[in-house]
Amino acid sequence: MKDKAFVSLRALDKRYPGHHAVRGIDLDIAVGEFIAIMGPSGCGKSTLLRMLAGLDEPTGGSIRIGGENMHGVPAYQRDTPMVWQSLALFPFLSVVENVEFPLRMKKLGAVARRKQALDWLGRMGLEGLGDRRIAQLSGGQRQRVAIARALVTEPSVLLLDEPLSALDAHLRVRMQAELARLHRELRITFVYVTHAQSEAFALADRIVIMNEGRIQQVGAPQDVYRAPDNPFVAEFIGANNLVTGHVTACMDDGIRVEGGLGSFDVPTNRTFARDDDVSFVIAADRIGLLSENAVAPEGSATLLGTVLGIEFVGSTQTVFIELPGGKEFRVQKQQHEIESLELLPGRRIGLHWNPRHAWLLPRNV
């Protein structure tokens, strides 16, 4: 994280009748940082964004932006524009009038605001489209207009609520690149809510994982991916396989864990006692596959399972494998790595991984 916190949330709480949406959030966001907030539907991430924007007032706790307490400060007086999932563009205004609108609210003169709006349309690659109506634009062009409208006032914080969810896959990738460019050039603080892990991991300096109104983990994308703090994060990320068991032996460099899937060595420098309950994760891309009777590399952890099915995402395949007791593992591989295995549903298949790649979850979960 950068040195100086620009946005500070302390014990932030939000209750609605019959629903506790946000529960005691503490979070510091640095000047110029790109934060992505993720979590399942209903976890409180959009409510958190709305409180930052001033659209919802917290039930408890505080929000400080640039050192100023935001209690009672309405949305129009905050320097925190939002790009909405629905874009919320005005169909009765032209493109340039949409971008001008925040400047009109700030009482900027007509000539100055038109110049500023046209400049931002140019920066977003929308030159010559200022006189069009919103209905005449493609989805990607509308997205750029919404971003231009949010940035035309040159805010200190930009809030984005699932801004790319309505775009097709090709446009999403292009807009990810556009957002990364804007953040790099402007160096303002971005707070980005998304369901898409690919967006969060590609764009953010840090990821915030939420569940049931609470923060579960905050960290760099690589840390959240490889070193989840608890079983929820491990399973939410979707690329981890969770194994539970109890300690049967303690070695100098790790422990032996035995459970329903067998016995496995897991590295750790922490102290455990025999029979302690523990959980570890092994990432889907750390697991190798072998034909049923092939020999795994020496020292590997091994399992035998049955192929349930395969999901294709470009050249990457996710293989779903049923293990003894009905537990399901996911294995992610490039197609060329496993095409010789003929992974048809019902085929028996061997799994193996290097014990050093297992990640032991903290004990306080």
Is 215 in the same domain as 82? yes
Q: Pick the last residue of a domain from 180, 197, 226.
A: 226
- Span 23-76, pLDDT tens digits: 999 999 999 999 999 999 999 999 999 999 999 999 999 999 999 999 999 988
What phi and psi values does residue 301 have, to the nearest 5 degrees? -80, 140
Task: Report the percentage of the chain scoring pLDDT > 70.
Answer: 98
175 falls in which pLDDT band (50, 70, 90)?
A: confident
Paired tokens of 230: 């608890």
Q: DSSP secondary structure string, 253-271?
A: TEEEEEETTEEEEEE-SS-
Give the whole-angstrom CA distance, residue 365 versus residue 230.
6
Is 196 in the same domain as 61? yes
DSSP E strands in 212-315: the ranges are 214-219, 240-251, 254-259, 262-267, 277-283, 288-291, 301-313
Give the whole-angstrom CA distance, residue 202 versus residue 295.
37
Q: Pick the last residue of a domain from 182, 204, 226.
A: 226
Residues with Cβ within 8 Å of 273's Cβ and at least 6 positions away in sequence, in order, are 247, 250
Give the single-character DSSP code of 48: H
Q: Exposed (0-12), middle (13-18) or buried (19+): which is 192, by Cβ within 10 Å?
A: buried
Is 316 in the same domain as 353? yes
**How far apart, in Å, are the Cα atoms of 140 and each of 87, 129, 257, 346?**
11, 13, 50, 43
Q: Is residue 127 part of a domain?
A: yes
Is 49 in the same domain as 176? yes
- Span 63-78, pLDDT tens digits: 999 999 999 999 888 9
The residue segments making up the domain with residue 289 are 231-360
CATH of the domain at 98: 3.40.50.300
Number of domains in the chain: 2
Q: Pick the last residue of a domain from 195, 226, 257.
A: 226
Residue 192: the pLDDT is 95
Is 212 in the same domain as 90? yes
Q: CB atoms < 10 A from the CB of 220, how many?
A: 15
Residue 111: pLDDT over 80: yes
**How many CA atoms lie within 13 Å of 339's alpha carbon, on the beta-carbon side?**
6
Residue 1: the pLDDT is 43
Residue 2: the pLDDT is 46
Element (H, E) at 34: strand 34-38
- Span 142-154, pLDDT tens digits: 888 999 999 999 8
Is 91 in the same domain as 170? yes
Give the whole-angstrom CA distance, residue 194 versus residue 172.
12
Is 197 in the same domain as 282? no
Residue 314: pLDDT over 90: no
Average pLDDT value over all residues in the chain: 91
Q: Is residue 172 part of a domain?
A: yes
Element (H, E) at 116: helix 110-123
Is 99 in the same domain as 26? yes
Residue 8: pLDDT over 90: yes
Residue 225: pLDDT over 60: yes
Please provide the distance, in angstroms rounded to a whole number, between the alpha carbons at the two ends of the chain.
25
Residue 91: pLDDT over 80: yes
Residue 165: pLDDT over 90: no
Is 91 in the same domain as 222? yes
- Span 184-196, pLDDT tens digits: 998 999 999 998 8
Give the single-character DSSP code of 286: G
Are 259 and 245 a contacting pair, CB within 8 Å?
Answer: yes
Q: Is residue 243 part of a domain?
A: yes
Residue 125: pLDDT over 70: yes
Is 51 in the same domain as 187? yes
User: How large is the average pLDDT for residues 126-136?
Assistant: 92
Going by C-alpha positions, the residue among 197, 179, 196 that lies closest to residue 188 is 179
Q: Is residue 365 part of a domain?
A: no
Is 239 in the same domain as 211? no
Paired tokens of 191: 């707070």
Q: Is residue 275 part of a domain?
A: yes
Q: Is residue 195 part of a domain?
A: yes
Paired tokens of 58: 């917290």
Residue 365: the pLDDT is 45
Specify which residues 36 forms β-bridges with. 192, 207
Measured N-to-C along each axis, helices 95-105 and 139-151 cross at an angle, to the nearest 10 degrees, of 20
Q: Is residue 120 part of a domain?
A: yes
Widest pairwise Cα distance in the chain: 77
Give the whole-angstrom CA distance, residue 286 versus residue 228.
15
Q: Is residue 338 part of a domain?
A: yes
Specify which residues 244 forms β-bridges with. 279
Give the residue with greater pLDDT, 308 vs 165. 308
Is 249 in the same domain as 116? no
CATH of the domain at 315: 2.40.50.100
